[in-house]
Amino acid sequence: MHFKWKYIPPTQQEEIAAKELGEKLSMSPVLSLILIRRGITTESAAKRFFHPQLSDLINPFLMKDMDLAVDRLNDAMGHKERILVYGDYDVDGCTSVALVYKFLRQYYSNIDYYIPNRYNEGYGVSKKGISFAKETGVKLIIILDCGIKALEEIAYAKELGIDFIICDHHVPDEKMPPAVAILNPKRKDDTYPFKHLCGCGVGFKFMQAFAKNNNIPFSRLVPLLDFCAVSIASDLVPVIDENRILAYHGLRQLNKNPSLGLKAIIDTCGLSGRELEMSDIIFKIGPRINASGRMETGKESVDLLVERDFAEAVKAAKHIDEYNEQRKGVDRQMTEEANKIVERLENQKHQSSIFLYDEHWKKGIVGIVASRLTEIYFRPTIVLTKDGEYATGSARSVAGFDIYEAIKSCRDLLINFGGHTYAAGVTLKWSKVKEFRKRLQLFVEKHIQPHQQEPILNVDAIIDFKDITKKMHNDLKRFSPFGPNNSKPIFSTEKVYDFGTSKVVGREQEHIKLELVDSKSNNVMNGIAFGQSAAARYIKSKRSFDIAFTIEDNIFKHNLVQLQIEDIHQTENE
């Protein structure tokens, strides 16, 4: 895919401000301009950005119902009631449960955890889960990363004498479940200053409040921050403000002293011995935690994350790694099938959205397939499969288009739905699928903007190779952790040439390993262009081209910089 590059040259006022801020920070004007454009305009704001402090975390009691939640938990522990920590089967749900369970088990033994089975219980609170709670004498359920829409199920639990504390971050409806406390910063009546916590973040705030109320030192919470980093990266929430603090210190924990379960995953997937970044979580750690819930049951991931014995953790990590390999195979097959359907259905190709369903597709993989199709065709995508008399599936969206609102417009057809702006899940009767497709596609057609269907690459700065110094690279690393709303800066260099040694690499000859020079210096830069081998012939023709790239460490050659090429354009008028 070739992107349309979007670059906004700095105004004279921005250039002056960037120069002044750069001098105060001993940083190049190129990087200080990027800071300014991300809303960091003063020296003090830059220092807070580069050195996030745990002491700047928001008072958890500012979240609505936090006092009620802490009181009910204290009451349960004081009366020795059985407590069940319940969560979703994805990364955010599993890390949330692991964090809350690991923290509370230090102070209380009558506690267990529960992850619903995707295939026979479905998403969120299930009657089976409530029955398990009743049979095992549970009086209080702390539910994480789901529950905000479980009106009937939580009302049923209440009739059985089981209370709920909900810790969720999904968009609530007007009517909310009859829980004793609902912790969700997206509540309309909640004035909590930061609205973008993930489920694990809400769970962490609950434990922070519980610790504060019971005079437990905050230092006892710090070892659990690695779960927050894994969740923030995997759930793709904005890495700003409170999330930046949690992710920054969570990554430090992950690198210095990770929990045994995460250490076992790190070792199993070949990441040990190097500084881990958010991208390592997204592409390596997160998919493995997700894999057990996609292929079998998410409880196996929580078992691993709370394991106390490292040898057992390694065994469990290897087992989950096998799930991940199986997941890759199913994912590949389903994506190929979905691509063939899109290519065969001409009307799909010209629609503003993609809507596919197949009764044989695996329920745990449809979300990945939706993501893949969104990346390939750059349109909002829904992929459904059959589950008995129901259709269930996932939706993914493109930048700027709210797929949750699109689905909400069809709510009268749905049994259940939930999610965020860019990712959502739905359940409906199989007989209603065609009507759902028709209405959803009409909604997207009416509301999506043409620019939202273009693959756009936002370029932060145009630079020459001589600008890429060791100091610049070290300063750039301080911008991390990266993620939504603080993406890794993308640079462009114009009129570069093959040094003569670039070559196609990869198992299927799909990548290009590059050695490049630009027209303004003699610097030779190494680069890698993943999946862009189609450009190799042009590159080897000795003609100039423009590149858009991020600046990375070369993990095979320490202390060397490597360009990760995001896109290649032929130089205009070449």
pLDDT confidence of 454, banded at 50, 70, 90? confident
- What residues does each domain of the chain span? 4-51+457-570, 60-319, 350-452
Per the structure block, which two tokens stand in for 568?
């290649």
Cα 68 to chain centroid distance, Å, stands at 30
Q: Does domain 4-51+457-570 have CATH number 2.40.50.460?
A: yes
Per the structure block, which two tokens stand in for 242?
């409170």
Most confident of 68-82, 275-289, 346-360, 378-392: 68-82
Q: Give 525-545 as a DSSP string.
A: EEEEETT-GGGHHHHTTT--E
Q: What is the pLDDT of residues 353-388, one digit of tens each?
A: 999 998 888 888 888 889 988 988 889 999 999 988
Q: What is the CA radius of gyration of the chain?
A: 25
Query: What is 60-319's CATH number?
Result: 3.90.1640.30
How wide is the angle at C-alpha 450 spanned by C-alphas 445 and 451, nearest 5°?
140
The answer to whether 342 and 354 are in contact (CB under 8 A) is: yes
Closest-CA residue to 453 (of 379, 360, 520): 379
Q: Give me the percent of the chain exceeding a pLDDT of 70.
A: 98
Rounded Cα distance between 264 and 305, Å, is 9
Q: What is the pLDDT of residues 313-323, one digit of tens each?
A: 999 999 999 98
| Assigned architecture for domain 350-452 | Roll (3.10)
Rounded Cα distance between 14 and 192, Å, is 33
pLDDT confidence of 416, banded at 50, 70, 90? confident
The pLDDT, as a whole number, for residue 574 is: 57
pTM of the shown model: 0.91
Q: What is the pLDDT of residues 214-265, one digit of tens each?
A: 999 999 999 999 999 999 999 889 999 999 999 999 999 999 999 999 999 9
